[in-house]
Amino acid sequence: MRSFSKRRQLIQRAVVLLSSVALLGVGSLPAKAQAPQAWPPSFKRIHTDLCNFDLRVPPTPTGLPINDLVIVIYGFFPGKEGDVVSTYPNPIWGLPKVVYIPAVQAPGVLDPRHAGYGFDQLIVHYGWREDNPNVRPAEANKLMHFGVHLRPCRWHVHVEAWWTSNGQRVARAWLCHIYKVWTPNGWVVRVTNPRAWNPEFPDGPVLLHSAQYFIPKKGLPHLEDLVSGIQPAEWGADGWTPLREDIVTVPLEPDQALSFFIPGPENPPPVFQIQMEALSQTPEVGAAADQLPPAAIVTDRAAVQLEADLNGDGVVGTPDFNTLRLQFGHSSPDEVP
């Protein structure tokens, strides 16, 4: 039985890898502007990122105080906890504890349809823990910032977060998935509304809005810089460039996605930001709901990854090798905080 489970996990991983390009090309709503150009599919061009988000603390139906947040990242993590380069110190909860759980030891509570089923897990736990019990509760309807810097080239397939009270889940922290793919003409950024497949916390539609970007021209923003209030001028950019304002009226159902195209160089990668509203989770408080902050503000950029197809012609050949020799011994600036 155990051998069968291992074979199933290996088959599932292979299916995910083979379908990743299809994931980036299907299921999106019609683009009305800035449609991405054709690009040659290549797994190495799917970039991991620096996950940064401001999350609105929800009021809980039972009135339980929210005093921790658990971020669960599913994927392949050969470096275990070391695949998390750094984490953002939350202003009231400080730094989190990171725990690695291999796929063969992961608790069998996931729905088999869950995107993370059969994968390794990185658990990033902010706030209350048994070894850290004296934690101030979060204030409802306020934004709190969290961030995880993953090592370049680490493959993650799913990220979700949960508000908890003394370790017990009380509400879902709504996140969108952001995939960033470098093409010879610029960046394709794909934003999805992922399912959690948890009957206690049903999946629902979201609204995405205020998508924008800037390309750093002076320095490289790192995790501590990628907050919602980041100022483009501090990084040599003229300001934010908006992307597709029409999407504010389009509900994004679970598993649906939107794509954006950002022209520009591969390095430095653009800083991308988008806001979202969880339609099923907005408190019914009448006109006061307009005064609430968004459910999430996601600000991130792709990690700088060393590529083999350095000239972008779709072929790894002698010109790439000659350039690669000049980079021997170099490492990505995102290998360290």
Instruction: Please give the pLDDT value at position 280.
Output: 66
Asked if 69 contacts 135 with a C-beta cutoff of 8 angstroms, the reply is no
* Cα dihedral 244/215/149/90 (nearest 10): -80
Instruction: Please give the pLDDT value at position 164.
Output: 93
Instruction: Please give the pLDDT value at position 261.
Output: 93
In tens, the pLDDT along 197-256 reads 999 999 999 999 999 999 999 999 999 999 999 999 999 999 999 998 777 777 899 999
Cα→Cα distances 23→75, 177, 236, Å:
16, 12, 34
Question: What is the Cβ-side half-sphere exposure of residue 307, based on CA atoms within 13 angstroms?
Answer: 25
Residue 268, preceding bond cis, omega within 30 degrees? yes
Asked if 209 contacts 239 with a C-beta cutoff of 8 angstroms, the reply is no
Q: Where are the beta strands (DSSP E) in 174-216?
A: 177-183, 186-192, 206-214
In three-state secondary structure terms, 318 is helix
Question: What is the Cβ-side half-sphere exposure of residue 281, based on CA atoms within 13 angstroms?
Answer: 29
Give the C-alpha separation, 295 to 283, whole Å.
11
Q: What is the pTM of this model?
A: 0.80
Looking at residue 333, its amino acid is P
Q: End-to-end alpha-carbon separation of the chain, Å?
A: 42
Instruction: Provide the b/e sequence for 5-21 (b: ≥16 CB within 10 Å).
Output: eeeebeebbeebeeebb
Inform me whether the pLDDT recorded for 262 exceeds 80.
Answer: yes
In tens, the pLDDT along 66-105 reads 999 999 999 999 999 999 999 999 999 999 999 999 988 8
In tens, the pLDDT along 3-44 reads 444 444 544 544 444 344 333 433 333 333 333 333 333 333
Q: Where are the beta strands (DSSP E) in the chain?
A: 46-47, 50-56, 68-75, 84-87, 97-101, 120-127, 143-150, 156-165, 168-173, 177-183, 186-192, 206-214, 241-242, 251-252, 257-263, 271-278, 296-300
